[in-house]
Amino acid sequence: MLWSLLKVLVFVTIVAALTLGAGYLMEMGDFALLTVAGREFVLTPVMSVLGAVLLLIAVWIVFKLAGLLVATLRFFNGDETAISRYFDRRSEQKGYEALSEGMLALAAGEGRLAIRKAERAGKLLDRPEITNLIVAQGAEMVGDTARATSAFKELVTDDRTRFVGVRGLMKQKLDAGDTETAMKLAEKALAIRPRNADVQDTLLQLQARHEDWKGARETLAAKLKAGNLPRDVHKRRDAVLALANAREALADGKVEDAKREAVEANRLSPALVPAAVMSARMAIESGQVKPAAKTLQKAWSVAPHPDLAAAFAAIAPNETPAARLKRFAPLLKLHRDSAETKLLAAELNIAAEDFATARRALGDLAETNPTARSLTIMAAIERGEGSEDRIVRAWLAKAVTASRGAQWLCGSCGHVHADWSPVCAQCESFDTLAWEEAPQSEAALTGPHQMLPLIVGALEDKSADQEAASEEAEIVEIEDVTPDDDGARLDDPSDETVEQDARAAS
């Protein structure tokens, strides 16, 4: 404390002296007269400035010598590291400079420079938790996997940096495609930092890929407890995991466990269509028709879906079309403006052969939202009402290039799935499938799109030729029965033969 106060006083004195000297230099003429110990020295302005600089250097040397003297006195007083600390200060300063330059190089994307600076800092500083991390990140940046792995392993040996090292090795295994080892490392990292959101997400994705549904539910609960997941999202994903667990139990023959998990999934997320369908179908197999119908109606009230309608139809598979139409009435009253409700009503009326009502139920859906399903239904209506083949085929031809409608679409990679799955089959993302309409690719339908006018045009041309042929036939028939100028019919051998036969018969 006293040494610091002394340095401050000396600094203030030097500043005051420099200010006073600058004033003298401004006031002096061509030379200055300096008297020391009875001797006079004549100084020019340049010599005065040099003298001031030499004086500052001398003061700096005095300070250094004084610091060395103090360190020596402390060493003799029992402080064995006093002298080594004195000589290490400069090295420490250089080390921190190299460390800061390495961090800046990382931020600038210069991996090799960051490694060199970190290695230099490592020689000057005893801070491996920082220098090894910079080396590892720089090695990853330049693609030196072996060096990065070595640096991460060194980080694992230190308690302060064990989590960083394990997490770095986990990411390396993920990049290499070794998901099993990555999952084990994620479990270790989560044991060190239970509230880390990034490791929780990674472990959850890996557990879902490996169908470890029980472990995934535990990780999901940990995310909720740590506050890293909203409660509504937790309920939705917990329902997805419960449904996946139910499917696995059913595949293993554990029917009661599957039924319990399916009911739990439907309770957690009534909007999860596969859960409602599975719960209802298992209830139907058990003879519990009313609970199954109630489950499906509740799910339909949230969002209509064709799988719900199919499961609702399975309640009474042998009923007549009229009875089925009557039983589906509660569903048809919900979401009347929904495209799915209109399509379902049209299909039920087609099955009952009430094509006029089916057309009214479908409305203008074939024009406003032309999908393969709506256009095919329109073709069925036209066929049922006795329309010409060319009209029916024209609707079917349009269905070739129409959108497939809503499908199970992965929100992460856009892959279309035939059936719902908890994990995307393409990118292996968890809980990313949604019932949406996939974007239509113009390039994918270039061929059918070019063929469509050829198909429809050929039908129209064929119809026109048929009409022309029928008109010509009518004209010929009229000409055959038209009298000549004398009022007699045109000679027709067939008519003469008929008359002769008639006379012979009489």
Q: pLDDT for 398-431, tens place per residue?
A: 888 888 888 999 988 889 998 999 999 999 999 9
Q: At what angle do helices 355-362 and 339-351 cross, to 10 degrees?
A: 170
pLDDT attached to residue 473: 47
pLDDT attached to residue 439: 79
Residue 194: both structure tokens together: 């239970």
Inter-residue contact 183 to 170 (CB < 8 Å): no
Question: What are the backbone angles phi and psi of residue 453, rounded to the nearest 5°?
Answer: -65, -25
**294-350 per-position pLDDT tens digit:** 999 999 999 899 999 999 999 998 999 999 999 999 999 999 899 999 999 999 999
pLDDT attached to residue 65: 67
Closest CA to 204 of 178, 232, 230, 183: 183
pLDDT band at 15 (very low <50, low <70, confident <90, very high): confident
What is the rounded distance in angstroms from the CA atom of residue 201 to the CA atom of residue 209?
A: 12
* pTM for the predicted model, two decimal places: 0.69
pLDDT band at 81 (very low <50, low <70, confident <90, very high): low
pLDDT attached to residue 130: 86
Contacts of 18 (CB under 8 A, 6+ apart): 52
Judged by average pLDDT, the poorest of 65-79, 134-148, 160-174, 427-441 is 65-79
Cα angle: 88, vertex 165, 196; to 5 degrees: 115
Given a cut of 70, whether residue 363 has pLDDT beyond it is yes
pLDDT attached to residue 475: 44
Length of the chain in terms of residues written: 506
**456-499 per-position pLDDT tens digit:** 443 444 444 545 545 554 444 444 444 444 443 334 434 443 34
Inter-residue contact 170 to 156 (CB < 8 Å): no
Contacts of 228 (CB under 8 A, 6+ apart): 195, 197, 200
pLDDT attached to residue 127: 82
**26-58 per-position pLDDT tens digit:** 555 555 665 666 666 666 666 666 766 776 777
**82-130 per-position pLDDT tens digit:** 555 555 566 778 888 888 999 999 999 999 999 999 888 888 887 888 8
Question: What are the backbone angles phi and psi of residue 159, rounded to the nearest 5°?
Answer: -60, -35
Q: What average pLDDT does this structure show over 283-296?
A: 92
Residue 162: both structure tokens together: 């064990």
The three state secondary structure string of 424-477 is CCCCCCECCEEEEECCCCCCCCHHHHHHHHHHHHHHHHHHHHHHHHHHHHHHHH
Inter-residue contact 249 to 241 (CB < 8 Å): no
pLDDT attached to residue 457: 40
Among residues of the chain, what percentage have pLDDT more than 90?
Answer: 51
pLDDT band at 213 (very low <50, low <70, confident <90, very high): very high
Q: How much is the mean pLDDT over the chain?
A: 80
